[in-house]
């Protein structure tokens, strides 16, 4: 039997065995380094995962199964995207009655049909409720232009703010 082992265990086999052992040790160390680095990037307790990764094979498999789903930088980027979309929605505004997102030049809410702004009696553009003059045609708000006063007897529309104020006084 020892003669058979001596025939198989040649210097070339010893060198190959040594290379395989060295590669396995390097792979083991690299797996621990990978677990620590990945846990750190994901915002997990990397020092605990380093201890778990010391258990050969099982530690790495446990980490792969239980690691956080997203990298910390990806989570931060996702939160920034959500904040950016909320900021874009804030540019438009909301209907005070139903909360539906509306653009700044909407006169009526497309959802509940609440009047959001006045219309200029001359150029029919949307005006902010606080404006006293139309910035598009220089017509005073509430005043009818002389050329349209005879042809248009349409009453001025009340803004949502005016209606809210009137309903709160009642």
> pLDDT for 54-87, tens place per residue?
999 999 999 999 988 888 888 889 999 998 887 7
The Cα 105–Cα 111 span in angstroms is 15
pLDDT digits over 123-138, tens only? Answer: 888 887 788 888 889 8
- Top mean pLDDT of 44-53, 68-77, 111-120, 134-143 is at 44-53
pTM as predicted: 0.47
Instruction: Name the burial class of residue 40, with classes exposed (0-12), middle (13-18) and buried (19+) by CB atoms within 10 angstroms of its CB.
Output: middle
Would you say 118 and 156 are in contact if contact means Cβ atoms under 8 Å apart? Answer: yes
3-state secondary structure of 13: helix
Residue 153 has pLDDT above 80, yes or no: no
Task: Give residues with Cβ within 8 angstroms of 80, minimum separation 6.
Answer: none
């Amino acid at each position: 039997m020892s003669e058979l082992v001596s025939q198989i265990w040649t210097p070339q086999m010893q060198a190959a065995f040594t290379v395989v052992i060295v590669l396995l040790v390097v792979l083991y160390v690299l797996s621990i380094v990978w677990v620590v680095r990945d846990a750190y990037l994901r915002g997990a307790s990397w020092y605990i995962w380093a201890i778990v990764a010391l258990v050969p094979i099982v530690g790495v498999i446990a980490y792969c199964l239980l690691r956080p789903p997203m990298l910390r930088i990806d989570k931060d980027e996702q939160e920034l995207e959500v904040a950016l979309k909320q900021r874009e929605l804030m540019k438009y505004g909301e209907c005070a009655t139903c909360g539906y997102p509306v653009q700044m030049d909407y006169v009526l809410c497309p959802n509940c049909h609440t009047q959001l702004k006045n219309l200029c009696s001359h150029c029919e553009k949307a005006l902010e409720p606080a404006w006293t003059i139309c910035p598009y045609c220089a017509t005073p708000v509430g005043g009818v232009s002389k050329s349209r006063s005879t042809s248009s007897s349409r009453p001025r529309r009340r803004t949502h703010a005016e209606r809210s104020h009137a309903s709160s006084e009642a």
